[in-house]
Amino acid sequence: MLAELQHAVAVAALGGDCQPAAALLRPGIPADRLAIYRNNVLGGLAEVLAAAYPSVARVLGCETFRQAGRGFAALHPPLAPQMWLYGEGFAEFLEAQPSGRVPPWLPDLARLDRVMHEAYFAHDAERLDPGRLAALANSSDLSGLRLSFHPSLRLMTSLWPIHSLWRAVRQGHTSPEPEPELAPDSLLVARPGLDVLCRRLERWQAGFLDVLLRGGTLGEAAGHVPAEEAAAAVQDELVQLLQAGLVTGYASQP
Amino acid sequence: MLGRPADTSIRGRPIPETAGIGLREPHMAAFFAGGMPATWVEVHSENYMVPGGPRLANLERVRRDRPVSCHGVGLSLGTAGGLDHAHLAGLRALFDRVEPGLVSEHLSWSVVDGVYLNDLLALAYTEESLDLTRRNIETAQEAIGRPLLIENPSSYIDFAATEISEPEFLTELGRHTGCGILLDVNNVYVSSRNMGFDPYRYIDAIPAEMVGQYHLAGHAEVDIGAEQMIIDDHGSQVCQAVWQLFDYTLARIGPRPTLIEWDTRLPELRVLLDEARLADEALARARCLCEVSDAG
């Protein structure tokens, strides 16, 4: 009995048929009141999404985002009570909108918002003291070394110049025009301290990091570095990663 | 004679019988900059069930200096489908880390068929749901290793199946499970306006010794269909009628830790602190009354 009642109220709260729930109310209670729960649930989830996808919210504006958020929420309600987890799949939802309704690069901006959101809540980790690796470099060859990285570190690629679009939106331009770019944009997102950083990578930098993130050695990763400047470039890249607090450890065994 | 609160003190730093504030992330910077200007704070448990990052770091910093109460919104104690044991384990891990002075949840449900509805949905007060909620509370208290305070909800609807009044339902839960009551005075007022009952008689029906904490918040008046309804949106100051009901509650039940909650249209932190000051004044007046009645 209770299970059926709760099922009926849930359907109404998610914007579905109100009749089954209305039939269970005490006589004299207007069925219109079920709208309070519908507004609380769908309106509340739209607000959760707006906080998790701040760049998308800026581009769409309050009212359009609210409608999109409610539409997503009715189709994909949360499966866990931790609201910071909610909203996976919103980029794909935007992608499935009829063409012309949202800018074609908006789904990728949503992916970037999501990656940054996940980085914000990722596990903490102690950074590796750069001096330890420097000492090692003096005494031995580093090419067999494998690095471990901060748990918040993520790489993302986009066919759009997503980094400059993201920056423009953050600076208040709500309808930036992307320069057409053929090369995919690669981004590094991480939260080594309290702040989330988002950095555009050269193609070889992304390849270099990708190999390391998959557990490859520095020697294997160096294969992605332009030959003419390999040694210096690898060193610069390593120093940058270390100084940003993104490297948490190393192992010299295979 | 005023009843003493239920023994809901747990191993964390105890929550004093003063006014605290619901601490939300947008207020953290102002809270630290102001030297943590509240005697205690309450946070939503689920907001801190995160792997890492600044949120947890903030809470760790707060709990070193102030007693913390953890208020849950996701346990769905009235759910027909049974409790989520992974969620219970997550709560336990959070409480072991934060060591809250009080832990509370709602008399409501929000999970059906594995879907979580981010609202506190109305329970049908029947013998069946009483039995089920009682078992869920026992399971939850066992899993988290602490007693719970259960909060009365704001009501907008009522079911034909209803067999038991809300105060009776809460009292029965307390008797059978040892849980206490978190009496939300604004919710009593909101429900009384929406459902047409006397809020003072509701307060009279709550056993004083079961009450471990009060909540106070603002509400909004909204047109729903042809009627005007009161929505518990935690988006404004506590209204005069609720302050009066709070005075009456304090005189009948006695002082308890009292929380000012604000969740939508957040104002500056000082607005919450001003509300907390008003609540502290009401608590001080009640203590005077208390001394007079004890002396007599």
Euclidean distance between the first and the last CA atom of chain B, given in angstroms as a whole number: 10
CB contact under 8 A, B52 and A48: no
The pLDDT of residue B9 is 47
Residue A180, chain B, CB below 8 Å: the answer is no
B4 domain-assigned: no
Q: Per-residue pLDDT tens for B255-271?
A: 999 999 999 999 999 99
Question: What integer is the mean pLDDT of B203-225?
Answer: 97
CA–CA distance, B267 with B235 (Å, rounded to integer): 9
pLDDT in tens, B153-162: 999 999 999 9
* Cβ A34 vs Cβ A10: under 8 Å: no
Measuring CA to CA, which residue among B238, B247, B254 is closest to residue B294? B254
What are the distances in angstroms from CA B19 to CA B13, B258, B276?
16, 5, 5
Residue B43 lies in a domain: yes
How sure is the predictor about B12, in pLDDT bands with cuts at 50, 70 and 90?
confident
> What is the per-residue DSSP string for chain B?
-PPPPPS---SSPPPPSSEEEE--GGGHHHHHHTT--SS-EEEEGGGG-SSSSHHHHHHHHHHHHS-EEEE-SS--TT-TT---HHHHHHHHHHHHHH--SEEEEESSEEEETTEEEEEEEPPP-SHHHHHHHHHHHHHHHHHHTS--EEEPPP-S--BTT--S-HHHHHHHHHHHH--EEEEEHHHHHHHHHHHT--HHHHHHTS-GGGEEEEEE---EEEEETTEEEEE----SPPPHHHHHHHHHHHHHH----EEE---SS---HHHHHHHHHHHHHHHHHHHHHHHHHHH-
8 A C-beta contact, residue B10 and residue B30:
no
Give me the residues paired with residue A237 across strands.
none
Structure token pair of residue B71 = 């208020």
Residues A147, A150, A154: CA angle, nearest 5 degrees: 100
Mean per-residue pLDDT over chain B, rounded = 94
Q: Which residues of A touch B74 (CB under 8 A)?
A: 80-82
The DSSP code for A176 is P
Residue A197 touches chain B, beta carbons under 8 Å: no
Q: Where are the domains of chain A?
A: 2-102, 125-251
Question: Token pair 């610069």 is at which residue?
Answer: A236
pLDDT at res. B288: 87
Average pLDDT of every residue of chain A: 92
According to the model, what pLDDT value does residue A234 have?
A: 84
Smallest CA–CA distance, residue B265 to chain A, in Å, is: 12
B227 Cβ under 8 Å from any chain A Cβ:
yes
**Residue B184 domain-assigned (yes or no):** yes
CA distance A124 to chain B (A): 5
Q: Label residue B172 by pLDDT band (50, 70, 90).
A: very high
Count of beta carbons in the 10 Å neighbourhood of residue A168? 18
What is the per-residue pLDDT for A180? 63
Question: What is A7-66 written as a DSSP string?
Answer: HHHHHHHTTS--HHHHTTBPTTS-GGGHHHHHIIIIIHHHHHHHHH-HHHHHHH-HHHHH
**Residue B269 contacts A, CB cutoff 8 Å:** no
The yes-or-no verdict on residue B5 having pLDDT over 70 is no
pTM of this prediction?
0.93
A14 contacts in chain B (CB < 8 Å):
115, 117
Running DSSP on this structure, what letter comes out for residue A192?
Answer: S
A9 contacts in B (CB within 8 Å)? 112, 121-122
- Identity of residue B294: D
What are the chain A neighbours of B53 within 8 Å (beta carbons)? 120-122, 124, 152, 191, 194
Q: What percentage of chain A exceeds 70 in pLDDT? A: 97
Does residue A187 surpass a pLDDT of 80? Answer: yes
Question: Above 50 in pLDDT, residue A229?
Answer: yes
B157 and A33 within 8 Å at the Cβ level: the answer is: yes
- Give residue B99's pLDDT: 96
3-state SS assignment for residue A149: strand
**Confidence class for position A253, pLDDT limits 50, 70, 90:** low
Query: Which parts of chain A are beta strand (E)?
Result: 146-149, 154-158, 185-190, 197-201, 247-251
> What span, in angstroms and rounded, lies between the C-alpha atoms of B183 and B206?
9
- The percentage of chain B sitting over the pLDDT mark of 70, rounded to a whole number, equals 95
The nearest CA of chain B is from the CA of A65 a distance in Å of: 18
Nearest CB neighbour to A123, from listed B51, B75, B109: B51
Res. A254 pLDDT band, cuts 50 70 90: low
Whether the CB of A13 is below 8 Å from some CB of chain B: the reply is yes
- The pLDDT, as a whole number, for residue A143 is 87
Average pLDDT (A176-196) is 85
pLDDT of A138 reads: 77
Residue B177: its pLDDT value, please?
98
For residue A199, what is the DSSP state? E
* Residues B250/B282, Cβ–Cβ less than 8 Å: yes
Contact A119, A196 (CB under 8 A): yes
Prediction ipTM score: 0.92
Of A82, A120, A121, the CB nearest to B46: A82
Query: Under a CB-based contact definition with an 8 Å cutoff, are residues B258 and B19 in contact?
Result: yes
> What gap in Å lies between CA B45 and CA B88, rounded to an integer?
11
Q: Which letter does DSSP use for residue A174 in this model?
A: S
**Contact between chains at A124 and B117 (C-beta distance less than 8 A):** no
Closest partner residue to A2 (CB to CB) among B50, B87, B132 is: B132
CATH code, domain with B68: 3.20.20.150
Q: How far is Cα B290 from Cα B287, in angstroms, rounded to an integer?
A: 5
Among A10-24, A68-82, A124-138, B222-236, the range scoring the smallest mean pLDDT is A124-138
State the average pLDDT over residues B180-203: 98
Q: How large a percentage of chain B has pLDDT more than 90?
A: 91
Total domains in chain B come to: 1
Cβ of A151 within 8 Å of Cβ of B46? The answer is no
**pLDDT tens column, A123-134:** 999 999 988 888
Q: Which residue segment(s) compose the domain that B276 sits in?
A: 19-295
- A182 pLDDT band (50/70/90 cuts)? low
**What are the structure tokens assigned to A232, written together?**
């210096």
Q: Is the pLDDT of residue B296 over 60?
A: no
Please indicate whether, in this complex, the C-beta atoms of A84 and B79 are within 8 angstroms of each other: no
- Output the pLDDT for position A1: 85
Instruction: Report pLDDT for B1.
Output: 40
Instruction: Give the count of beta carbons closer than 10 Å to the beta carbon of residue B131.
Output: 13
Strands B115-121 and B109-112: antiparallel
Of A7, A32, A41, the CB nearest to B224: A32
Separation of alpha carbons B201 and B205, rounded Å: 6
pLDDT at B163 over 70: yes
Q: Bridge partners of B116?
A: B111
Burial tier of A194 (Cβ tally within 10 Å: 0-12, 13-18, 19+): exposed
Helix, strand, or coil here: A143? coil
A227 near B CB under 8 A: no
Position A231 confidence tier, pLDDT thresholds 50, 70, 90: confident
Of B223, B107, B166, B113, the C-alpha closest to A39 is B223
